[in-house]
Amino acid sequence: MKTIKGPAIFLAQFADDTEPFNNLKNICQWAKGIGYKGVQIPAWDTRLIDVKKAAESQTYADEIKGIVNEAGLEITELATHLQGQLVAVHPAYDTMFDSFAPDAYKGNPKARTEWAVDQVKSAATASKNLGINVMASFSGALLWHTVYPWPQRPAGLVETGFKELANRWMPILDHAKDNGVEICYELHPGEDLHDGLTYERFWEATGKHDSAKILYDPSHFVLQQLDYLQFIDFYHENIRMFHVKDAEFNPTGKAGVYGGFENWVDRPGRFRSLGDGQVDFSGIFSKLSQYGYDGWAVLEWECCIKSPQQGAEEGSVFIQDHIIEVTEKAFDDFAGAAPDEAMNRKILGL
């Protein structure tokens, strides 16, 4: 067993053009001031990092690391969710996902995909330069529009979709492996990798690639009504990252898992600040500790009611209170005796 590191905070939902959220130095000082020990940096936010530059310049990477360390923090991981999403986009979503790309690539899906692949590769190299061996991402989606199909899916469609998704990711995964980095996919509705079975399909399609791992976020499993504790039993060997995010599911006679096109606050399934939802975090921290997860516990704040400042302040305390300092001795050691083969044989009647 190992002790989970934390608390840490994902900066994506907090970065802003106003102080203290407008640059890496200021936001790190803010995070340290409310109790965090690490920060997960969104690789798409140029107010915080230029991943291309961090990949090409060890000096710049050292400067980024120095800014974080000077604030008394560590960089836990880089996150490439938005770039990873653009590795695979079904044409039905082109217009909406264009907002994730620079203006130069909007309206040009081929160029946008090439940019996204280069960005994720750069983030993997930057991770190596920063001394980090895991990185977060989304898988993108070619099949999501068929997730609950009518009419039914044609035979072979799913296999073809995952084969193509794997083909797009293989060069990135190979590059990540060459740099000693594992890509941890956040299993998330909207992505082709959104639960255990879809992760397995993808992993198999990549030949069980060494760098294709999992970012565990129980909030998405609550909204899907998946057993998020048993998930850890099944996939703990591949879980390399952990987003601590709460959620609740309160179905009514009018709406269920699909939400009825309602806004977040009115949906049966809602993201909540830590402790305000239904996730059994005591069970999660116990299982992850039992299985030897020694990565970071990273707050991802998303709440339809509570302010980000209050959510962040309460979140650091919540995570710290749930981290288990794992034992190095058995509770009944006091009643034990030194090994004695003769005694053991006598007890067994031999």
Calpha distance 270→250 (Å, rounded): 8
pTM of the model: 0.95
Q: Per-residue confidence of the chain (350 residues) as pLDDT tens digits?
A: 899 999 999 999 999 999 999 999 999 999 999 999 999 999 999 999 999 999 999 999 999 999 999 999 999 999 999 999 999 999 999 999 999 999 999 999 999 999 999 999 999 999 999 999 999 999 999 999 999 999 999 999 999 999 999 999 999 999 999 999 999 999 999 999 999 999 999 999 999 999 999 999 999 999 999 999 999 999 999 999 999 999 999 999 999 999 999 999 999 999 999 999 999 999 999 999 999 999 999 999 999 999 999 999 999 999 999 999 998 776 666 557 678 898 899 889 98
CB count within 10 Å of CB 155 equals 7
- Two structure tokens written together for 53: 């530059």
Name which of 221, 242, 317 is nearest 274 in CA terms: 317
Q: Which domain holds residue 157?
A: 5-347
Count of the separate structural domains present in the chain: 1
C-alpha distances (whole Å) from 81 to each of 42, 120, 170, 290, 316 are 8, 9, 17, 29, 23
Structure tokens that stand for 103 in this block? 């203006």
Please give the torsion angle defined by the CA atoms of residues 9, 98, 101 and 213, in that order, rounded to the nearest 10 degrees. 50
Q: Which two tokens stand for residue 172?
A: 């990135």
The CATH number of the domain holding residue 123 is 3.20.20.150
**Cα(219)–Cα(242) distance, integer angstroms:** 11
CA distance 262 to 257: 11
Q: How many CB atoms lie within 10 A of CB 14?
A: 19
